[in-house]
Structure 1
Amino acid sequence: MLIVKPGIGRVATALAAGTALAVLVATPAMADTSQSSASALRIDLVGGGVASSGTASATNDGTTESISGNTNPSLAVLGSQDVITAGVLGQDVRAFNDGTSAACAGVAGASGTFDIGAGGSCLVTPGAEVSLTLGTNGLATIALVADAIYSSCTATSAPSATGTTSLVNARLTSTTAGITTTLLSLPANPAPNTGLSVPGVLSITLNEQTSSTSGQLSVTALSIDALAGTLASVTIGESNCGPNAIAPPIPVIPLAGAPIALGVGAIAAGIGFVLHRRRATAKG
């Protein structure tokens, strides 16, 4: 008469169940990926000259955030140019583990700050007045003056994306013989794709928003095209968020090894079944 120790059948059954469970949980929960980028200022001159603050970028694979580029570049990165000679450039970016991302970019007066807070909110402290010289019109010097000009955006893997533009005390001015007058006051929170102009001098777009796909958004706080002079265009505060997505799972047990794992589980289950039957027969 065959005597089987009671624990052997239980061990085999547990081995089979454990192997099956390992295969079932081999695929972890799907991770949300996210991305964003930001650029504070770009100046294009007639003839092809370009001065740019560069771009800061953030990505996240669902577990780790990576940030590249300078989030607080100095004016020195713009090289030899006389459009902006004082102030602060900001181009902050974040890509969070939960599939959300945020960007904030623009210019502010000296001592101004740019930061991304909880939930991806854009936190800007306007500094002293910043001025960008746009060129001349006859004897007048045309300038863009503000305490801060910036855009921001957020995106999720839902997918969804939103963006805004803020212009703090922004205006276009004309200065002749030391006397400055305001040509055009700019709205603090312009609607998307607001167009303005100073006839014969400048064409302006505020809060330009474009999207290439659901859950992706690009926001430009302000862009100016000069109609005459050496300045071709100025672009302030480019923020890009998304598209963010749910990433495909990465199996803990490689797919190529899954049949082996399942085979081991099946063998263990078979052993458990045979031992159980023999034990039952022996008792009978």
Structure 2
Amino acid sequence: MAAAAGCTAALLAASPALADTSQVSASALNITLLGGSVASSGTFTANNTDGGSETTTGDSSPLLSVLGSQNVITAGVLGQYGTALFGGVSRGCAGLLGTGGEFVVGADGTCTVDNGAEVDLVLGVVAGATIALTADAIYATCEATSAPTADGAASLVNARITSTVLGIETTLLNLSPNPAQNTGLTLPGLLNVVLNAQTSSGPGQIDVTALQIEAISGLLVSLDVGNVVCGPNAIAPPIPVIPLAGAPIAAGTLGLVAVGGFLRHRSRREAAIRS
């Protein structure tokens, strides 16, 4: 009987644990133009739901042609990457680089950037002045775990808002290269800017956008550069080989087997004594 109980315990203990799940999404550029039309790089996603195989959707390095008919940006490199790893870890990065720039993503999802040439985004024309966003690189990164933890950051390399009149460029606003979370800036009468915009739906989840612009008048409606969302990544519970609801039945069955074995052993022993 002790053997049966031990066997039942062993079966219940032999409960293979599923690995923690992970997820991430990334989008390099979204522009809402005057008139309400949208130019978007699309979204890249990665999910790992069984702790082994990662599934992805979308293009991680879309061409500028995916933005369709627009005159905001005519040269540059878009990148939107994410990795959903075994054990409930996800990492992502997304943004915009100048021509010749490159996003370098390691096997663990860690993202580094090789800056390219300067990239310009024309925001619009106001009173004869062309307002533009100029930078070498603008991108966001994020990481989340099933612990749960989540973290994100934004990088803006040589980024600034400029005004050009008759070929003469004037810097209206220099943008911090490593801004604090939700840094808000305003150019009165022109636009509002948020750097390193971060929100969270709860522990272990983070949504980061490197740069957000909302125009006030005469410019495109809005611009989001480098959006990444990591998590939430869930802890997967162990699953018993014999479900707990069936444990009493399993224990009873094993008990009957053990009793039968004991009786057979006793009969053989008594026959040996009589002989």
TM-score by shorter chain over 0.5: yes
Q: Equivalent residue for 2:41? A: 53
Q: Equivalent residue for 1:127? A: 116
TM-score normalised per structure 1? 0.88
Give the superposition deviation at 1:22: 3.3
Q: Equivalent residue for 2:145? A: 156
Asked whether the 8 Å contact 2:22–2:84 carries over to 1, the reply is: yes
The answer on 1:239 being equivalent to 2:228 is: yes
When structure 1 is superposed on structure 2, of 118-127 and 136-145 the one drifting more is 118-127
**Letter paired with 1:28:** P
Question: How far apart are the structure 2 equivalents of 1:171 and 1:103?
Answer: 25
Q: Equivalent residue for 1:96? A: 85
Q: Equivalent residue for 1:106? A: 95
**Helix, strand or coil for the counterpart of 2:74?**
coil
**Letter paired with 1:51:** A
Matches within 5 A, 1:182-261: 182-253=171-242, 261=250
**Letter paired with 2:48:** N
Asked whether the 8 Å contact 2:4–2:251 carries over to 1, the reply is: no
Q: Which sections of structure 1, spanning at least 5 residues, go unmatched?
A: 1-11
Give the superposition deviation at 1:281: 5.0
Give the superposition deviation at 1:99: 0.7
**Which of 42, 49, 52 is 2:30 aligned to?**
42
Q: Equivalent residue for 2:20? A: 32
Matches within 5 A, 1:136-147: 136-147=125-136
Identity of matched residues, %: 58
Question: How far apart are the structure 2 equivalents of 1:238 and 1:58?
Answer: 14
Matched length: 272
**Which of 166, 169, 177 is 2:158 aligned to?**
169
> C-alpha root-mean-square deviation of aligned residues, in Å?
2.4
Give the superposition deviation at 1:124: 1.5
Question: How far apart are the structure 2 equivalents of 1:81 and 1:244?
Answer: 37
Question: How far apart are the structure 2 equivalents of 1:283 and 1:196?
Answer: 97
TM-score normalised per structure 2? 0.90
Q: Equivalent residue for 1:8? A: none
Question: How far apart are the structure 1 equivalents of 2:244 and 2:35?
Answer: 56
Q: Equivalent residue for 1:5? A: none
The answer on 1:82 being equivalent to 2:71 is: yes
Asked whether the 8 Å contact 1:32–1:244 carries over to 2, the reply is: yes
Deviations 1:129-162 (A, max 9, x none): 1110001121110110111000000000000000
**Letter paired with 1:196:** L
